[in-house]
Amino acid sequence: MQFCNSASTKHHVFRLNAALLMSLAAVGSASAATLSVGPGKTYAAPCAAFAKAKAGDIIEIQGGKTYSGDVCAISASDLTIRGVNGRPKIDAAGKNAQSKAIWVVKGNNIKVENVEMYGAKVPDKNGAALRLEGTNFTLRSSFLHDNQNGILSGANANSNVVIEYSEFGYNGYGDGYSHNLYIGNIASLVFRFNYSHDANVGHNLKSRAKLNTITYNRFSSTPSGQTGSTKSGKPSYEIDLPNGGTSYVIGNVIHQPSAHNNPGMLAYGLEGATNPGQDLYVVNNTFLNDDSSRGTFVLIGGKVTKAALIQNNIFGGTGTVTGQASAVQKSNFRSVAPGFLNRAQYDLRPTANALVINAATAPGKSASGFSLVPTAQYKHTAASETRPASGALDIGAYESAAPTASPSIPAPSVPAAPVTWKVCAPEGGTCSFTGTREVRFGAPGYYNTKVITAKTPCNSTVFGNPKTGVYKSCSYSSLAK
C-alpha cells in the first residue's frame, strides 16, 4: 500500500482551502450589489429598490430630492440604506405602509444612514417614520421629525438597536402615548451622540430595553417662538425607562423647558421594574430645569429595589434630585444657577468654581465591569468630540477646558486665584456677606448651592437637605457675582 507524504498532503489541502475561501469571497462580493435610487438612476424611488434588494446589498438614495408618498415594507435582511450626495427627504405625504409607518423594517440587520423622514400618520395615531419588526437595527446620521412616532419598535428579546449621530424633533401625536422614539422590550439599546428635542407631549426617548446605554446626547427643547429645526414642543419626560433594566446614563445634557407635560426629567421603573436588571448609573450629566416651581431630576419608581448611583452630575434649577432615599449620591453639584461659558448658546463648559472644576470623583466601573468614566462629550448638532483630559475630572457633561476637536472655541478664562469658600454660619444661623455670592449649604461631598445677595438663613428650608444625619454649615464663595 502506498501512502502520500503527509507534509505534502497538508500543504495541498491548505492550498485547496485557501482557493475555496477566495472563491467563496468572490461569490459573496459578486452577489452583493449597489442599487442606485434617484432621478436618472435605476430606481426612481427607494421602495422600488427595496423590493429588488437581496441580502448584503447597498441601496444609495440620491440627496437633494424629496421622495413623496414612497412608503413600503423592507423585507430583505443585511441591507445598508444610505443617502448620498446630500440627505434625501422621505415625505409620507399622507400615505403609510401596512397602517404602520413610512418604512416597516421587517428584515434583520438593517442599517439606515443619512436620511430625513417626516409626515408619518396612521388612523390609530401611532404612525412611525421607522417601524422596527426585524432583529437588530442601526440608524445613523439621520433626521426624523413631525411624525406620530419617530421610531417605534416592538418587543424582540434578541434584537439590539444602535442609534447615533441623529436628530429627532416634534414627533408625537399629542396624546402622550407616542414619542420621538419608543423602543420596545428588546435586548439592548445604544443611544449616543443624538439630539432629541421638542417631543409633542410624549417623551424625547422612551425605552423598555433590558440594557440601555445612553451616552453623550442632548435632550432639550426650544422655548415657544424660538427658531429651531422643528416647531416648539412640550415634552413629558426627557428620558423614560419605564421597566428599569441595566441602564447607563452618562455624559448627557438633560434639559427640561419651562413649558412641559411632566416635571420629571429622567424616569426609571415607573411602570414596574420588570426587566432583569434594576441598576441605574447616572454619571457626569448636566441637568437643567427651566421650570422655576417644580421638578424631579431623577424620578425612580417605588418598586425599584436597587439603589441608583448618582455621581458627578450638575443639577441646575429648581427641583428635587431624586425621591429614592437609598440612592448613592456622590460629588454632585446642585445650584439654582450654575455658571456656564454661555448658557443661552448651550456652551455648558463650567466657569471657574472649585465645587465643579477638578471636583469629580472617580466613578469606576459598574457591577458588570462597564466603565463609568466619561470619554466624550456632546457637540451640537448630533455630533461628538473627545472629552479633554486636563487633570482631575470636572463635574457635569463637559470639561472646563476647550475640546481638542474644536480648536475654534476659546478656552475659558480662569482667575489667577482659585475659588475659596468662607464658612459664615452653622445650620440654623444666618449667613451674611457683601454683594451677591454663591452660597453652599451642607457638609463635605454633599452641598446644595444658591446665588444670594447680602444674607440668608442657613437651613434646609432655603437650600433643601443635601444629606440627612450630618452636621451642616453655610459658606460663601470668594467670587462676587
Separation CA 444–CA 440 (nearest Å): 10
Residue 246: phi and psi, rounded to 5, are: -65, 120
Cβ(141)–Cβ(114) below 8 Å: yes
Report the DSSP beta bridge partners of residue 211. 188, 246
Residue at grid coordinates 443617502: 83
Contacts of 395 (CB under 8 A, 6+ apart): 284, 312, 313, 314, 331, 332, 333, 350, 355, 356, 357, 359, 360
User: Domains in the chain, please, with CATH?
Assistant: 34-386 (2.160.20.10), 421-480 (no CATH)
For residue 223, the model assigns a pLDDT of: 72
- Summary mean pLDDT of the chain: 89
Tens digits of residue pLDDT in 335-393? 989 999 998 889 999 999 999 999 999 999 999 999 999 999 999 999 999 999 877 89
For residue 481, the model assigns a pLDDT of: 57
Cβ(261)–Cβ(226) below 8 Å: no
Separation CA 57–CA 44 (nearest Å): 17
Reading phi first (left if > 0) and then psi (alpha if -120 to 50, else beta), residue 142 is in beta
Q: Is the dihedral of CA 8, 9, 10, 11 positive or negative?
A: positive
Separation CA 460–CA 446 (nearest Å): 13
For residue 480, the model assigns a pLDDT of: 63
> What is the dihedral angle through the alpha carbons of 151, 280, 233, 129, rounded to the nearest 10 degrees?
0
What is the DSSP code (8-state) at residue 40? T
For residue 25, the model assigns a pLDDT of: 43
Cβ(141)–Cβ(113) below 8 Å: yes
Separation CA 109–CA 37 (nearest Å): 21
For residue 442, the model assigns a pLDDT of: 85
Separation CA 284–CA 324 (nearest Å): 19
Residue 119: phi and psi, rounded to 5, are: 90, 10
What is the DSSP code (8-state) at residue 371? B
Cβ(203)–Cβ(239) below 8 Å: yes
Query: 381 preceded by cis ω (within 30°)?
Result: yes
Q: Which cell goes with 436?
A: 451677591
Angle at 341 between CA 339 and CA 343, to 5 degrees: 75
For residue 121, the model assigns a pLDDT of: 98
Separation CA 83–CA 114 (nearest Å): 5
DSSP secondary structure, 205-257, as one string: -EE--SEEEEES-EE--PPTT---SS-----S-SEEETT--EEEEES-EEEE-
For residue 222, the model assigns a pLDDT of: 82
Tens digits of residue pLDDT in 229-243? 898 999 999 999 999
For residue 293, the model assigns a pLDDT of: 86
Separation CA 205–CA 193 (nearest Å): 13
What is Dmax (Cα atoms) for the chain?
107
CA distances from 276 to 210, 309, 362 (A): 7, 18, 27
Separation CA 128–CA 144 (nearest Å): 9
For residue 389, the model assigns a pLDDT of: 82
Q: Collapsing DSSP states into helix, strand and coil, what is residue 46?
A: helix
Cβ(303)–Cβ(271) below 8 Å: no
**Which residue ranges of the chain lie beneath pLDDT 70?**
1-30, 224-225, 227, 403-419, 445, 479-481
Contacts of 401 (CB under 8 A, 6+ apart): 349, 388, 390, 411, 412
